[in-house]
Amino acid sequence: MSEILVLVEHVDGEVKKVTLELLTLARSLGTPAAVWAGPGITGDAKARLAEYGAEKIYVAGSEEIVGYVVAPKAELLAQLVAAKSPAAVLVAATAEGKEIAGRLAVKTDSGVITDAVGLGEGFVADQSIFGGGVNVQSKVRKGTPIVAVRPNSTAPEAAAGAGAEEEVSVSLSDGAKAAKIVERVKQEKGARPELTEAAIVVSGGRGVGSAENFSVIEGLADSLGAAVGASRAATDAGWYPHQFQVGQTGKTVSPQLYIAAGISGAIQHRAGMQTAKTIVAINKDPEAPIFELADYGVVGDLHQVVPQLTEEVDKRK
Ligand SMILES: Cc1cc2nc3c(=O)[nH]c(=O)nc-3n(C[C@H](O)[C@H](O)[C@H](O)COP(=O)(O)OP(=O)(O)OC[C@H]3O[C@@H](n4cnc5c(N)ncnc54)[C@H](O)[C@@H]3O)c2cc1C
């Protein structure tokens, strides 16, 4: 079977969960080959990639690859596409992943699909488009299919691959070196999972009422091991930081479980969460549009419902 290149997302030498999902997906369609961009690959990282099915691990360990924003990663993948003729290239549908996918498509004269939430036989992708209002199936008709897949679209399953390592050297064009990274500031990482990667997200909206009241949302999130999200009404009010906004102009999440508390379900909010596998809405207005979308709904005051829910979850631990 032909190789499917999977661009590895990694932080501090650790492979991110979305990569394990992409390897699982790639395994169902061909032979997964992981592509590690930049220095710092560890024995643990290689073992993890092999554990989830990577038959090959292409390692481009040059410092240059991570020194210039995203362009070098697109050039690395383009050179691998030319050398290895893979059946497809999969990247995570993160902001960076999607930019790499677009650049790679131009470089290889190929079609690109972004925000896929599934990928099947013949590389037919399921996509949620127009702000999440329409689901379509799409297929690349030109070149090598390049598909950016949303985190949490597939459950990662281990199935050992050979994990054969191959060093790759890349010659970067001057164009790829146009935007140099001069400083990296590490974001303080809390105990909660990253919003776009979390399997469970608990979000609060205007109904939460104040910044202090967000502790109710955080309490439920922590008892479930979830990430916290917020509607734009809540972030614009300064109740929760903007980086946690879910929606059209915020983050797109696709968790197994999304709990929306005090959120009406405006189209712009839905755009960022409606591909969640199970949606639970807590709202005091039985007519709130979020209930049209929810799998389970609780009509009630979130200040009563959410603490009770947290208590029940804690009891079952
Ligand atoms: C261009 C554009 C981009 C946008 N991008 C985004 C985006 O990315 N993300 C986003 O979220 N929005 C976005 N918006 C804003 C969006 O249109 C809505 O205004 C916003 O989502 C509303 O947030 P909300 O549901 O928290 O507030 P509201 O619509 O005011 O809803 C609050 C809900 O809380 C309920 N409630 C109140 N008190 C309680 C209580 N005690 N217990 C239980 N329920 C209670 C109410 O019944 C109501 O349904 C965008 C808008 C535009 C124009």
Does 28 contact ligand 1 (Cβ within 6 A)?
A: no
Please tell me the CATH superfamily of domain 3-177, with its number: HUPs (3.40.50.620)
* pLDDT tens by residue, 23-80: 999 999 999 999 999 999 999 999 999 999 999 999 999 999 999 999 999 999 999 9
Q: Is the pLDDT of residue 130 over 90?
A: no
Q: What's the pLDDT score for residue 138?
A: 96
Residue 118 pLDDT greater than 70, yes or no: yes
Cα separations (Å) of 129 from 135, 175, 177, 261, 274?
Answer: 6, 32, 33, 25, 11
Whether this prediction's pTM lies above 0.85 is answered by no
CA of 207 to the centre of ligand 1 (A): 8
Tell me whether residue 187 is exposed, middle or buried, using C-beta atoms within 10 angstroms of its C-beta: 0 to 12, 13 to 18, 19 or more.
Answer: exposed
CA atoms lying within 13 Å on the CB side of residue 148: 21
Q: How confident is the model at residue 131 (pLDDT cuts 50, 70, 90)?
A: low
Look over the chain and give the mean of its residue pLDDT values, rounded to a whole number: 95
- Domain(s) labelled CATH 3.40.50.1220 in the chain stretch across 200-316
Residue to mutate, 206, 242, 246, 274, ligand 1, most ligand atoms under 8 Å from C-beta: 206
CA of 262 to the centre of ligand 1 (A): 8
Q: Which fold has domain 200-316?
A: Rossmann fold (3.40.50)
Calculate mean pLDDT across residues 150-165: 94
Looking at residue 134, what is its pLDDT? 82
- For 187-233, write each residue's pLDDT tens digit: 777 789 999 989 999 999 999 999 999 999 999 999 999 999 999 99
Where in the chain is CATH 3.40.50.620? 3-177
- Residue 38 CA to ligand 1 centre (angstroms): 41
Binding residues for FAD: 206, 231-232, 245-249, 262-269, 283
Q: Report the DSSP pairing between strands 146-149 and 164-167.
A: unpaired
